Amino acid sequence: MHGGFDPDKNDTVSLRDKVTLNKNEKWRILKNISTVSFAFMVQFTAFQGTANLQSSINAKDGLGTVSLSAIYAALVVSCIFLPTLVIRKLTVKWTLCVSMLCYAPYIAAQFYPTFYTLVPAGIMAGLGAAPMWASKATYLTQLGQVYAKLTEQSVEAIIVRFFGFFFLAWQTAELWGNLISSLVLSSGAHGGSSVSHDNETSSIEEALNKCGANFCVAGTDDNANLQRPPDNEIYEISAIYLSCIVAAVIVIALFMDPLSRYGEKRRGSISAIEVSGVQLLAATFKQLKKVNQQLLILITVFIGMEQAFIGAEFTQAYVSCALGISQIGYVMICFGVVNAICSIIFGSIMKYIGRIPIILLGALVHGGVIIYCLFWKPHPDHAFVFFAISGLWGVGDAVWQTQINGIYGALFRRNKEAAFSNYRLWESAGFVIAYAYSTQLCARMKLYILFAVLALGMVGYGIVEIRQISKERRLKKLEETPKQQHSEADRKEIEEDDEKDELEEDIIVTHL
């Protein structure tokens, strides 16, 4: 359905696909969005389920946390060097397939978890993660632009809606992954809470006093709730997760249309530019020169830190410590379900109320929960509170996942690969920072740091919004002015506007 290069263009850098599509193509686009969303759900059923258990089942010498840190440290390196090169060589579709397979060794390493197996496998997963996420984001954003043209709707609203639907499916992975681990662990001998069965009431209270904000990794050996479950239960969970990874790759390979159908080689894209590898690597760094990108760094770092907190610190310092490892999955299911529901809600209502109120809601919810966690002392009798905190954290995370991804997609449409590479770079930096001090600091200090990064990140985001409002007014004024009256600076600003992507000019809609 798509044509080849435009023969009228002599400049090789400007060569791009012309895309001829009819109105019915929108159903195929929705099928593709559903396919990639389902595949990521299956993939992260395995990975999220495994990651949420790491700080508890591989707690000895901090092995689980170190392996997670290795994943995100490798992801940082990957973000800088790999996405543009891999997408250029393999195309978006096959980059997704290869990158997803890189997660399989990490799941397999759970059968024999040592520093020599888990850490190298974590590094491989991290190296594959950046191209995978950059490909996914490029695919969703570009299909969003095509769909907006076909349906004559706002590009930004469609992009956010597609991200909302994707994260709805992706966040349900939290549900399925944790449900699998909880059912297996609860049915085994390790299913109960050991603290509550202790004969000495004073010992119970003493152990519980070391949970929550007072939790420090050192000095928790006396808490039976934190003991590793039997190997056969972990092997059973890992075998299920490993089959999920394979299934996800097969779904992408068989059912997802290649992006070439929708103009993969558009002007300004990595796929279209005939440049050297060094110049491709420079694209990610060039993106960092943009003021809006710099201002979004801290809030993006916070997104990584808050996910690391709920997945490692909250599960260990609050849930495992007070309720037992077998309860982690059930509590995190609440996080996943609320996150999924809110992702689709926020993605849908954004076009009616705008992103600012939604992002303010996310900041208030996460800020409030952080403050509450500083003072709350977890106890098995307060089971509802564990689920409430998990659910509220899911509300906040849904805000960041849909809206900040949407901001990157809307502000940097012309340089999507480099922009989403930067998003993943700084989000991964947040994970690495959080995991790096995980075994060194107590939970209270981690909460203080998290709150500070959130506050500073919101300041940067606020400045971006102010700049956008100012820019929109300026461009609107320029549009009302005859072109011959534009200064050289005005013309350059219009020409280099990041929010303009010639793909929209290259889509030819037929009514057949």
Of residues 275 and 131, which shows the higher confidence score? 131
Q: Looking at residues 28-47, what average pLDDT do you find?
A: 93
**Chain segment 480-510, per-residue pLDDT in tens:** 676 655 566 555 555 555 555 555 555 566 6
| Whether pLDDT at 194 is above 60 | no
Q: In what order do the strands lie in the sheet with 507-510?
A: 2-5, 17-22, 507-510
Nearest CA to 45 among 229, 171, 185, 232?
A: 171
Contact between 372 and 389 under an 8 Å Cβ cutoff? The reply is yes
Q: Which helix (H) or strand (E) holds 278?
A: helix 277-287
Range of weakest confidence among 182-186, 453-457, 479-483: 479-483
Rounded Cα distance between 32 and 414, Å, is: 22
Ramachandran bin of 324, using left for φ above 0, alpha for ψ from -120 to 50, beta for the remaining angles:
left
| Whether pLDDT at 477 is above 70 | yes
- DSSP string computed for 54-85: HHHHT-GGGHHHHHHHHHHHHHHHHHHHSHHH
Rounded Cα distance between 16 and 460, Å, is: 35
DSSP state of 112: S
Which residue bears the tokens 């440290």?
A: 73
Of residues 10 and 84, which shows the higher confidence score? 84
Contact between 331 and 319 under an 8 Å Cβ cutoff? The reply is yes
- pLDDT, residue 53, reads 80
Q: Which residues lie closer than 8 Å to 501 by C-beta, 6 or more apart?
A: 145, 266, 268, 413, 414
Contact between 35 and 256 under an 8 Å Cβ cutoff? The reply is yes
Residue 112 has which token pair? 């024999």
Q: Looking at residues 286-303, what average pLDDT do you find?
A: 90
Confidence at 452, pLDDT banded by 50, 70, 90:
very high
Of residues 334 and 506, which shows the higher confidence score? 334
Amino acid at the residue 64? G
Residue 179 has which token pair? 């449900």
- pLDDT, residue 510, reads 60
Q: Which helix (H) or strand (E) holds 332?
A: helix 328-353
| Whether pLDDT at 62 is above 80 | no
Nearest CA to 223 among 305, 142, 153, 316?
A: 316
Q: Looking at residues 15-37, what average pLDDT do you find?
A: 78
Range of weakest confidence among 116-130, 246-260, 418-432: 418-432
- Percentage of residues of the chain with pLDDT beyond 70: 79
**Chain segment 195-217, per-residue pLDDT in tens:** 444 445 566 677 777 888 888 87
- pLDDT, residue 489, reads 57
- pLDDT, residue 248, reads 95
Q: Looking at residues 2-31, what average pLDDT do you find?
A: 57
Confidence at 265, pLDDT banded by 50, 70, 90:
low
**Chain segment 368-407, per-residue pLDDT in tens:** 999 999 998 888 888 889 999 999 999 999 999 888 888 8
- Percentage of residues of the chain with pLDDT beyond 90: 28
DSSP state of 229: P
Q: Which helix (H) or strand (E) holds 507?
A: strand 507-510
- pLDDT, residue 204, reads 67
Nearest CA to 154 among 163, 162, 165, 145?
A: 145
Q: Looking at residues 137-163, what average pLDDT do you find?
A: 83
Rounded Cα distance between 60 and 56, Å, is: 9
What is the SS3 string spanning 149-164?
HHHCCCHHHHHHHHHH
CA angle 361, 291, 308 (to 5 degrees): 45
Q: What is the largest CA-CA distance in the chain?
A: 87
Contact between 178 and 325 under an 8 Å Cβ cutoff? The reply is no
Model confidence, pTM: 0.74
Q: Is the dihedral of CA 364, 52, 174, 162 positive or negative?
A: positive
Confidence at 106, pLDDT banded by 50, 70, 90:
very high
What is the SS3 string spanning 279-295?
HHHHHHHHHCCCHHHHH
Nearest CA to 43 among 116, 125, 138?
A: 125
- DSSP string computed for 349-418: HHHHH-HHHHHHHHHHHHHHHHHHHHH----GGGHHHHHHHHHHHHHHHHHIIIIIHHHHHHHTGGGHHH
Rounded Cα distance between 338 and 327, Å, is: 18
Nearest CA to 130 among 425, 443, 394?
A: 425
| Whether pLDDT at 271 is above 50 | no
Rounded Cα distance between 465 and 101, Å, is: 38
Q: Looking at residues 421-438, what average pLDDT do you find?
A: 85
DSSP state of 196: G
